[in-house]
């Protein structure tokens, strides 16, 4: 079976079956652009992805390698965040920092299914929280004045109708 080598930002080398790596649009493009072939000793550098995150991505890709490609969202239907499989729900039970690193790496690597999963997990973290609670969860400083906050509340009052 065709295998390629991936090098994480912290220098770890991972040998991965091609059918696992092909979930990444970025890796496919790099293979084509760099002319990397099995056994040539070359590796694909992934300068924005740490080894511990790359291992998680490989685990996710291994589990989902036979899934159909994730379609681009065209806005014609309501996206859900509660439709996760048990495996995916367990997979994204991560500390916030790791979850965000995973999302950013998935975005860089163009892995649509993993981007969607991590974004759903983040959406579930903030669901039904007040702005104050969201700021607390993500350690965001409130730099609005009381008047600015009141203006934003009034401007977005229509959101409460649903």
CA dihedral sign of residues 12, 18, 24, 25: positive
Q: Which long-range contacts (CB under 8 A, 24 or more apart) does 113-116 make?
A: 113/23, 113/64, 113/67, 113/70, 114/23, 114/57, 114/60, 114/61, 114/64, 116/70
The model's pLDDT over 136-148, given as tens digits with 9 standing for 90+, comes to 888 888 888 989 9
The model's pLDDT over 7-47, given as tens digits with 9 standing for 90+, comes to 999 999 999 998 898 899 999 999 888 887 766 777 899 99
What is the assigned CATH class of domain 3-68+78-128? alpha beta
The model's pLDDT over 69-103, given as tens digits with 9 standing for 90+, comes to 776 665 555 566 677 889 999 999 999 899 999 99
């Amino acid at each position: 079976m065709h295998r390629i080598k991936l090098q994480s930002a912290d220098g770890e080398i991972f040998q991965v079956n091609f059918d696992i790596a092909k979930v990444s649009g970025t890796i496919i493009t790099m293979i084509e652009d760099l002319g990397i072939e099995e056994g040539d000793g070359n590796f694909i550098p992934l300068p924005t992805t740490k080894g511990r995150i790359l291992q998680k991505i490989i685990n996710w890709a291994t589990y989902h390698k036979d899934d159909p490609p994730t379609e681009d969202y065209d806005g014609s239907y309501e996206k859900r965040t509660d439709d996760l499989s048990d495996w995916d729900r367990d997979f994204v039970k991560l500390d916030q920092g790791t979850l965000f690193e995973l999302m950013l790496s998935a975005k860089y690597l163009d892995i649509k299914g993993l981007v969607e999963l991590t974004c759903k997990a983040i959406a579930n973290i903030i669901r039904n929280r007040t702005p104050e609670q969201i700021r607390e969860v993500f350690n965001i400083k409130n730099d609005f004045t009381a008047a600015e906050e009141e203006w934003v509340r009034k401007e977005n009052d229509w959101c409460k109708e649903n």
